[in-house]
Amino acid sequence: MERFSWIDGVAGDVLAAGKRLEAIAYGPPPGSAPTIVMLHEGLGCVALWRDFPRKLAAATGWGVFAYSRAGYGQSDPVDLPRPLDYMSQEAMLSLPQVLDTIGLTRGILLGHSDGASIAAIYAGDRSDCRVEGLVLMAPHLFTEAAGLASIAEAKDAYATGDLRAKLARYHAHVDIAFCGWNGAWLDPKFKAWNIEPSVERWRVPALLIQGADDQYGTLAQIRAIETRSPAAVQSLILDDCRHSPQFDQPQATLDAVAAFCRHCEDPRT
């Protein structure tokens, strides 16, 4: 297995589940400090995190690693349609290889939207003592009618508006990136998707961050995690915030993540 060459601020690649994935790292490498591994949303990629990874490294003193999953950004493409359990496959097949390739020793998973769901599945369904906590922004455990309606609106915007052109700036295989996500979520069989059982097997604490005006999920997602997790859960609901706390409320999000990282490093804090 070829290790990722960790150089602060320098892009590189990792190989996972037979796919080449673009990646970038900030701050100290694993072994020198804990690591935040970032899992992007359903239409995200390395570039669409903007400067959030760099700011996380500065705010925490930890290493930060971000990568684009297969089908996104400049990573290798995938075949369509995506299987409806694609998030579970990411959690159980690709993510473990990513963590091994970067040489993770200890740290947390930070996921946004689909990425939060992948992190939630990993924490519940795989025993990995290196992962000491979760930060889940706008997590999804199950589908909701309002969220599916917003995803349907995105389909219309992609077909008739400028959404495709905007996404094409960031995704080499833009139709794969969009249709893989949108097609899975709008498949009638996906309404039954539910990962609550994974949460019931968590063994590490979690910080949940959600915008009060999130167009893709309601606070029912947060309350379900609070009810089902056997591990400690801290929730932060942000006003004047939609689906992306890291952009709508950047300072509050950074402060909360930094405090959570300090607590993971020393639970007495």
CATH architecture of 11-260: 3-Layer(aba) Sandwich (3.40)
Angstrom CA distances, 35 to 63, 72, 233, 254, stand at: 5, 22, 20, 15
- Each domain of the chain, given as residue ranges in start order, spans 11-260
pLDDT at 93 over 80: yes
Measured between alpha carbons, how far is 126 from 99 in angstroms, rounded to an integer?
Answer: 13
Q: Whole-prediction pTM value?
A: 0.97
Give dist(CA 94, CA 99) in Å, integer: 9
Which pair of structure tokens corresponds to residue 259? 């405090």
**41's tokens:** 């949303």
Q: At what angle do helices 52-60 and 250-265 cross, to 10 degrees?
A: 40
Strand (E) or helix (H) holding 134: strand 131-137
Confidence of residue 46 (pLDDT cuts 50, 70, 90): very high
**pLDDT per position as a tens digit, 187-208:** 999 999 999 999 999 999 999 9
- Residue 267: the pLDDT is 73
Distance in angstroms (rounded) separating the CA atoms of residues 49 and 188: 30
Over the stretch 118-175, which tens digit does the pLDDT of each residue have?
A: 999 999 999 999 999 999 999 999 999 999 999 999 999 999 999 999 999 999 999 9
